[in-house]
């Protein structure tokens, strides 16, 4: 369930309350006077499947988006059995705009992921590589790009892809700088040569595993965004990006750029399939949601 709160002048709020009270899926509509003179607050409880229609109705009455606040409610007890798991498009879209920006925190996490992954690549240490994947937030711009594609918002999709590319470039650069410094300071064995065995196998060769793992990881990433489980699924996403990006950086950092050619193909294909998987998942969900809404609208009242 979601709670909606709307603030504005009392006359407009009286009309808004009447509109909400007539909408299917909206209940417990209340209007109270605010402390500010001639201002009121309207609040209600909304089912997830009714949120998008409610917002469209409010916009149709000239209400600006910044006058509306939506919050998710954690329902407990017996009432939790009837909680809907419907996708809320406005919620997904709002998160996508937030995640499409290359903010400082995002870039800092990518630097940390790149440094940790560099040690994993150099030492062929799977634990360190998994740790880097857990830190990386590259899931966020990937699913944001999918939202932009499905919502036909070219600006959002483009900005998300740019943010993803910048983040992976930062991680790769951090891994390369870490490897370069280790090499210069003598922390690498004499005659060290980069290899692709053990935990690093599959980072330089495209095969059917490359396609399938990235595709299903994109599906998981999109579902995770909608259920607020992105931190738990981030590792599954980053398994297809961070190791390859770090391998690229390390190869250049230790002076073996010729070994990075295969990793370019793996990374590019993985990113493409991640976005394809996330986009297909969201497109299917949105189509099913719209179909269900159309069926409800045709039912006699």
Q: Which residues pair with 5 in a beta bridge?
A: 43, 69
Show me where the domains of the chain are located.
2-82, 89-288
Say how far apart CA 263 and CA 108 lie, in whole Å. Answer: 23
Q: What is the pLDDT of residue 229?
A: 55
Q: What is the pLDDT of residue 286?
A: 85
Which segments of the chain have a pLDDT < 70?
76-87, 196-202, 204, 226-238, 297, 300-301
Q: 103-144, pLDDT tens digit by residue?
A: 999 999 999 999 999 998 888 888 888 888 888 888 889 999
Q: What is the pLDDT of residue 275?
A: 93
Q: What is the pLDDT of residue 86?
A: 63
Q: What is the pLDDT of residue 53?
A: 84
The residues, ordered by sequence, that sit 6+ positions from 204 with a Cβ below 8 Å of its Cβ are 196, 247, 259, 261, 262, 263, 266
Say how far apart CA 262 and CA 267 lie, in whole Å. Answer: 9
Q: Please tell us whether the domain made up of 2-82 is placed in CATH 3.30.1600.10.
A: no
Q: Hey, what CATH topology would domain 89-288 get?
A: Glycerol uptake facilitator protein (1.20.1080)
State phi, psi for 46 to the nearest 5 degrees: -130, 135
Say how far apart CA 11 and CA 14 lie, in whole Å. Answer: 5
pTM of the prediction? 0.80
């Amino acid at each position: 369930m979601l709670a909606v709160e709307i603030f504005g002048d009392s006359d407009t709020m009286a009309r808004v309350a009447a509109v909400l009270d007539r909408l299917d899926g909206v209940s417990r509509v209340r209007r109270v006077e605010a402390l500010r003179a001639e201002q009121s607050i309207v609040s209600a409880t909304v089912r997830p499947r009714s949120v998008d229609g409610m917002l469209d109705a409010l916009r149709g009455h000239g209400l600006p988006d910044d006058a509306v606040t939506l919050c998710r409610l954690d329902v407990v007890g017996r009432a939790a059995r009837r909680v809907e798991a419907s996708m809320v498009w406005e919620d997904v879209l709002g998160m996508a705009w937030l995640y499409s920006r290359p903010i400082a925190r995002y870039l800092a996490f990518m630097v940390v992921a790149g440094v940790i992954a560099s040690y994993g690549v150099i030492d062929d240490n799977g634990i360190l590589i998994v740790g880097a994947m857990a830190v990386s937030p590259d899931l966020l711009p990937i699913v944001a790009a999918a939202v932009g594609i499905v919502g036909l918002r070219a600006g959002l999709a483009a900005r998300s892809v740019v943010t993803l590319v910048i983040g992976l470039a930062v991680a790769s650069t951090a891994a390369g700088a870490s490897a370069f410094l280790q090499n210069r300071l003598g922390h690498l064995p004499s005659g060290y040569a980069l290899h692709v065995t053990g935990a690093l196998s599959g980072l330089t060769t495209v095969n059917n595993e490359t396609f399938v793992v990235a595709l299903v990881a994109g599906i998981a990433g999109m579902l995770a965004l909608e259920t607020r489980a992105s931190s738990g699924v981030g590792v599954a996403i980053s398994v297809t990006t961070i190791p390859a990006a770090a391998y690229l950086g390390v190869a250049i950092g230790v002076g073996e750029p010729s070994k990075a050619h295969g990793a370019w193909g793996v990374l590019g294909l993985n990113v493409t399939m991640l976005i394809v998987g996330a986009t297909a998942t969201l497109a299917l969900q949105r189509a099913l949601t719209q179909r269900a809404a159309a069926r409800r609208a045709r039912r006699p009242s």
